[in-house]
Structure 1
Amino acid sequence: MGEARIGLIGLGTMGAALAMNIAEKGFPIAVWNRTSSVTQDFHSNAGDLADRIVPTRTLAELVDAIAAPRTIILMVPAGQPVDEQLEALSPLLGADDLVIDAGNADFHDTTRRANSDLPFGFMGMGVSGGEEGARHGPSIMAGGTPEQWDRVAPVLTAIAANAEDGTACAARMGVEGAGHFVKMVHNGIEYADMQMIAEIYGLMRDGMTMDAAAISKVFDGWNDGPLQSYLIEISAKVTAAKDPHGDMPMVDMILDRAGQKGTGRWTAIEAQHLAAPIPVIEAAVMARNVSARLEDRRAGEDRFGAAPELCEFDPATMEQALIAGKILCYAQGFSMIAAASDKFDWSLPLPEIARIWRAGCIIRSAMLNDMADALADHPDRNLVMAPHFAELVEAALPALRQVVSQGLGAGHALPALANGLMWFDMMRTARGTANMIQAQRDFFGAHGFERTDGNPDKHGPWGA
């Protein structure tokens, strides 16, 4: 029987970084990769941490290297590979052992696995922060029983990022797929945040003909204010970088075709099942899909005209527009999490979610401190209605409206910012236009409606 505190399967980019993080925090770790040479290379390149890493050649050797009761982290691709790995581990582990899927799994799969007849314990865990976060401190969203969490919390809180107040950005979200659900919504918000920044970048580049260096200075200045965040910080850095193969800005040499791994799409799909409106995230997913249609877009430009018209904006106006868009996006994301909490009976801790997103993850930002406070004060209230954020939105709304209306009028595509504004305008309208839809539905399908005067008659006078 070995003395490794924990095991890890899958030494890809994220798995290798997470294993190094665990070893660095003082926990002996046994590792295994399907390709043995990868395991040996990883151990050989571990430097001073090699003494805390046990490389293994087989699954049986991995299991034997871990002190009982065993805990093993899976860092393998989502979907069928996870099921195959769980099946391979089944003859080797017992009821006291625990396997943690730390990949980007579909939360439905995690719930299915947690409720299956596996001969060992199982929990899902969302890990955010990319390779850098995995290596030096990610945000961790765990899903499992309280007993499972208590068992692994010492390791997970030790390797997680720490917020400015010293709090570890790792917490239990709930049972079954709760952790992977929260990670999914995190990624959806990430899509939207990136899209809104890209739209503002496009206005500066195409509408105001600013070069990348000038745009970088604007982003850099914004990172000292309310928009302070990892994504604004790196936006300043990528627009400042030069192409190593020439003297052009690096960002200008990158093809405008965005990739995606599917978690943003999952967020949009699940929102429909929950009847949770998240139009900013949906617009961001749509924008990535459109970006992939490069030849179609080129044909469209040839047929309908090229560059959008110029339009002038003050950087302060664009900053306020982005502040408003960000608040509206996060409000939608937290509202979706609340809807899932009710549907799946998870009791998702909204304030705690905001807190563990303050460091380590991609969407970390200064605003999350105030969001955590607002959600703690009134978890059932939409974030837009919290006094602090209501005041911010009220102050920034004219700028968002100006940027969207002038930008669209000049031919610039602003799907995420525009959808955020449309959602807000619907949410502030006590009597909307759905009465017309209900009248139409009753006319052609006798679906009925509710009356404003309480009269029990539920059909109109238009007949069959």
Structure 2
Amino acid sequence: MAEAHIGLIGLGTMGSALALNIAEKGFPIAVWNRTTEVTHRFRAEADELADRILPCDTLAALVAAIAPPRAIILMVPAGQAVDDQIAALAPFLGPDDLVIDAGNANFHDTNRRDAAGLPFRFLGMGVSGGEEGARHGPAIMGGGARADWDRVAPVLTAIAAKAEDGTPCADWMGEAGAGHFVKAVHNGIEYADMQMIAEVYGILRDGLGMPAEDIAGVFRGWNEGVLKSYLIEISGEVAAAVDPVSGGPMLDVILDSAGQKGTGRWTAVEAQHLGTPIPVIEAAVMARNASARRAERAAGEARFGPGPRRVEGMTTETLEQALIAGKILCYAQGFGMIAAASTAFGWSLDMAAIARVWRAGCIIRSAMLNDMAAALAEDPARNLILAPGFAAMLEETVPALRQVVAAGALNGLALPALSAGLAWFDTMRTARGTANMIQAQRDFFGAHGFQRVDGLDRPHGPWGKA
């Protein structure tokens, strides 16, 4: 007799944590891993939750253990592994059963699977929060048919993080790959937020000569104000950590080469297809790529020197204001990209709902998202920088961003993300820019034509004529 309310495949770090979360919330769950030993060890180590976990040795047994119509969550690596798992499940499932891909899938793959005519129902679901979030409350972004989301929403909202007002940070984003798309943009913003924090850390360390212990205090202080967020919080923790081997700051023994799993890169690539500017995210991806080129960077320093580095007259208050401005600009670009995708793919994405989902559980959770959700609910079509509250904040904080970016340029401190944010802001506050020169050049060498400011139908210039 079927006993489980839901099933889960893949008991890696995230899958195990999510399965325990589901069991803890009172839902009996059937689990399967391709290594049977892992499946049974997981159940044995589940302690008081073991009675709600049904370990299965085969896919057929997994399907039989779940009450129909079945719902099965896939927690396997993105890409071919998902296709292989879908193919392996197909013989055991009926048309009313539901498979939920909760991995870091490329939304194009989710679109493809959604349109493939699978012999069962299919949802793509973005999950953010890392292992801790999966275990105790992630942010969840669903994509697929609304009816399929509604069917499993009681489980997903129960296991999701809760915002301060008690609202579950789980919601349906839209059809097909919408959930995985929103998750990818989330990760792009995550890249940018982390990069801007790292740049400010660099100014504190190299520009102001501040020891790690003092830097920890700065971040902890910032986490009590406007910048209150998970990433600022953990930045203070890692800056304060002591290396058990050397006895010195943990940060000082970590190689400065950042890893990445690709979702930030997907965001940057997709932004080009959508024609939407996200320069802070693109700069963050570039910075991660450049961080891996350690030998080239060392050769560059040997040839050109590191620059003066030390910054005179800079205060931590100025750095805080600059980071506030950078954060607003970064999120504005991310929401702008989501709005462009909503139009391009016909998803009708609810911008305010997305901001609300990100308020807790996910990596970019931030106190600022409450105000962003309110601003987007008031006028979802308006760029976030033009919302009255955020416009006022930018008027107050952009001067500090200018000071910080200028100090970095003058003192050889690389600030790619903060600089990109400022350049985008200045572009977006300039009614008449310089693209008229580009249009003239294009017409000169390729007769591409242009539009005139006076509206006359004379689409070419006089160049090249006798």
Per the normalisation by structure 2, the TM-score is: 0.99
Q: Is the 8 A contact 1:160 1:170 kept in 2?
A: yes
Q: Which runs of 5+ in 2 are unaligned?
A: none
How far apart in 2 are the matches of 1:92 and 1:126? 25
Letter in 1 for 2:415: L
- CA-CA distance at 1:307 after TM superposition: 5.4
Letter in 2 for 1:449: F
Equivalent residue, structure 2, for 1:33:
33
Equivalent residue, structure 2, for 1:372:
373
Letter in 1 for 2:123: M
Equivalent residue, structure 1, for 2:407:
406
- CA-CA distance at 1:234 after TM superposition: 0.2
Equivalent residue, structure 2, for 1:329:
330
Aligned residue for 1:26, secondary structure, equals coil
Residues 11/308 of structure 1: CA separation in 2 closer, same or farther (3 Å cut): farther
Equivalent residue, structure 2, for 1:250:
250
Q: Is the 8 A contact 1:238 1:251 kept in 2?
A: yes
Per-residue CA deviation, residues 346-379 of structure 1 (Å, 9 max, x unaligned), is 0011000000100000000000000000000000
Does residue 186 of structure 1 match 2:166?
Answer: no
Equivalent residue, structure 1, for 2:390:
389
- 1:159-238 matched pairs, under 5 angstroms: 159-238=159-238
Q: Is the 8 A contact 2:311 2:407 kept in 1?
A: yes
Q: Is the 8 A contact 1:143 1:173 kept in 2?
A: yes
- CA-CA distance at 1:244 after TM superposition: 1.2
How far apart in 2 are the matches of 1:409 and 1:94? 65
Query: Identity of paired residues, percent?
Result: 72
Worse-matched range after superposition: 292-301 or 154-163: 292-301
Q: Which runs of 5+ in 1 are unaligned?
A: none
- CA-CA distance at 1:219 after TM superposition: 0.3
- 1:308-457 matched pairs, under 5 angstroms: 308-312=308-312, 313-457=314-458
Per-residue CA deviation, residues 178-213 of structure 1 (Å, 9 max, x unaligned), is 000000000000000000000000000001110000
Letter in 1 for 2:67: A
How far apart in 2 are the matches of 1:318 and 1:328? 15
How far apart in 2 are the matches of 1:75 and 1:146? 21
How far apart in 2 are the matches of 1:408 and 1:158? 49
Letter in 2 for 1:461: P
Letter in 2 for 1:362: I
Per-residue CA deviation, residues 268-317 of structure 1 (Å, 9 max, x unaligned), is 00000000100000000000000001111111111111354210311100
Per-residue CA deviation, residues 143-200 of structure 1 (Å, 9 max, x unaligned), is 0111101100000000000000000000000010000000000000000000000000
Q: Is the 8 A contact 1:23 1:53 kept in 2?
A: yes
Does residue 130 of structure 1 match 2:91?
Answer: no
Worse-matched range after superposition: 187-196 or 302-311: 302-311
Per the normalisation by structure 1, the TM-score is: 0.99
Letter in 1 for 2:311: C
Aligned residue for 1:140, secondary structure, equals strand
Equivalent residue, structure 1, for 2:88:
88
Q: Is the 8 A contact 1:188 1:267 kept in 2?
A: yes
Q: Is the 8 A contact 1:22 1:155 kept in 2?
A: yes
Equivalent residue, structure 2, for 1:120:
120
How far apart in 2 are the matches of 1:158 and 1:307? 53
- CA-CA distance at 1:229 after TM superposition: 0.2
How far apart in 2 are the matches of 1:191 and 1:170? 22
- CA-CA distance at 1:246 after TM superposition: 2.3
